[in-house]
Structure 1
C-alpha cells in the first residue's frame, strides 16, 4: 500500500502501422471469438476492475469481435530489466514478455513527440530521418494509467504509418532483429565476464538490450494477446515469454488494457486519411485536461477518494476514449468510412463538372 505522495510522469509511445500483408489481410483474420479470447473462462473474470470494460470494448453484446481496418502493428518484446538487475538478482521490466509499442518517459526538455521518436530509435534500433517532413507522427490519444508502485503515467500515444514514412515502409525486420541479436551477444559477454556490473548506469544503458525482438503482428493477433493478458489463466504469448517466466519465477502476465484500448482505437480508422484528420482536430492541452484524473503529489487518501468518485458512470464517461463498446466502435468505423466515400464522390463530381466546362 502506498504511503507517500503520488508521482505523475509524462510518457509517450509510438504505434507503427502498415497495411496488412499476405494472408493477414484475408477475412478469416478479422474475426475474434469470445471463446478463443477468454479461453473458456467466464466472460467477466480476469482483468480486475477492467473485466467488464475489456468485454464491452472488444465484444459488446456479440460473441465475435470484428476487426475491420486491415492494419498491421509493429511491436517489440523483452523481459529482463538490465538497468535494475544486479549481479545477485534478476529484475523483470513492467509488462514482461508482452508485445509492446516503443515508448518511455519524457526526459526534461523534451516534447512528448520527441520522446516517442527517441524511444523508437533506442528500443527498436531504428535510425529515423532528421527532416520532420520525412518522419510524420499523428497524435492518437492521451491516457492516464492507474498507479503502479505509486506512479501514474500520462501517456501520449502517437501513430506512424508506413504509407507516408518511407523509413517504415522499407523497414527490414530481419536486419533489425539481427542487430538486436548482435547487441545481445555483446551484452552477454560483458555479463559473463562480470564487467557489466561495474559500469555506470549511463554505460549500462548503452550496452544493455531494451528489446529482444520486433515483429509485425496483424490487428487480430495483437488484440488477442493484449486481451489474454487479463485472463485468470496465464497463457504465454510465445515460448520466449513462457521460458522467461519460468526462469524468473513470474507467476502471471501484467494486464495490457491500455494497449488493447489503443489498438482498438487504431482499428476504428479505415484509412490513414481518416486518422490524420482526427489527429489534426485533437487539441493536446484540452485532451489532457479532459482525461487527467490523478494529480502529482496526491496523498494516498486523496487518490482513494478520486478512485471512489470515478467509479460512477458519469465520471467514467467524461474520461472515456473514442468509444466504450464494440457497437460504438463499429459505428465510428462506419461513419468514418461513409465520410470518406462521400468526400471521394464529391471529388469525382467536381472533376466531372470541370471537364464538362472545358
Structure 2
C-alpha cells in the first residue's frame, strides 16, 4: 500500500484537536492551518463546536466525508476505541502521536501489540505511536501534521527521524541554515511504518534529492540493505545511527522501544549499501548542505586547489584515508594552470597556487580543473 494517504492526503481528521493553546491538539491544528494545507480539515472533539474557525465533529464517524488520514492525539486509555472507529469509517492511514506504548514496557508493549493488530485488521497504515508526525512541503499538498514550532521551507531534502525531540532540532537547524525540506517523518516506535518504508517512499519521491536519517535501530536490516543499495545510486543517504555504546543502546530501548543492533554489523551493512554514517546531527547537516547544493560526482577522482602547501597535504591525506583518489591532471590542464599562476606555484595535484592567489585565481583554477576529464570533483 502506498504511503500517499499519509504524505499526500486530501482529507484529514485531527482527533483530539483543541482550542487550548499549548496543547498538542492545538499545535497540530495550528500547524496544518499555518502551512496552508491544500486538503480538507476535520477537527474532532466532542466538547466543542468550532476550533480555529473549523466546524468540529464529536467523533470520526460523524464526519460526512471519506478520510485519507486521521491524526490521533488522545489518551492511551481510549486509543483502541478511536482506532476501531477509524477502521470502521474506512480511514486509510493513521498518525498516532499519543505515547504510552512499547517505550514504557509492560502494559505498553501489550497496548502496542493490540494497536498493530487493529490496523492490520482494517488494512490501515500507521506512523507511530509516540511520534511527532509528518509533513510534506509540495505546493499541491502543504501538509504540516506535526507539533513542531519550526516552519520548514520547501526544498529537496527528505528527513527521517526516530526521535521526536531530535526531529524538532532537525527542523529548527534546517531553518537556521536555510535548507529546504521536501518530506519529514518522525517514526516514534515505528510499530508499522518503518525506516525501510520511508526510505523507499523518499527514494521514489520526485521532489526529494537527498535523504537524511536519525535512527536508533534498523527495523529489518536485510530489507534496508536492498532498498538503500538502490536509493544511494541516485540519491545520497546520510545516517546518524545512535546507540553505539552499550549504555546508549539501553537508552534507545527505553526511548522508543528500539532493540539494539550489533555495531560492527551495522557499520558493515551501511558501508555495503553506500550509506554515509556520521556521528552527529551537526555533521549530518554539514554534509547535507554540500549534497543539497552540489551535483553528485561521476566517480572518486578528486583535485585539490589551495593557496598553501600544508592544507593541501592535509586534504590529500583526508581524501586518500576516506577511499578517494587524487586525480592525475592532464598535460593540457597543467599548461593552462601554468599560464595563470606564478612560476613558484605547483601545477600538480594538489595544486598549490601559493599565498599570492586571489579570488580570480581560484575562479580560473576551478574552471580549469573541472574541465579536466580526469577530475570528478
Q: How does the TM-score come out when normalised to structure 1?
A: 0.25
**More contact order relative to length (CA 8 Å, sep ≥ 6):** 1
Q: How does the TM-score come out when normalised to structure 2?
A: 0.24
Structure with bigger helix share is: 1
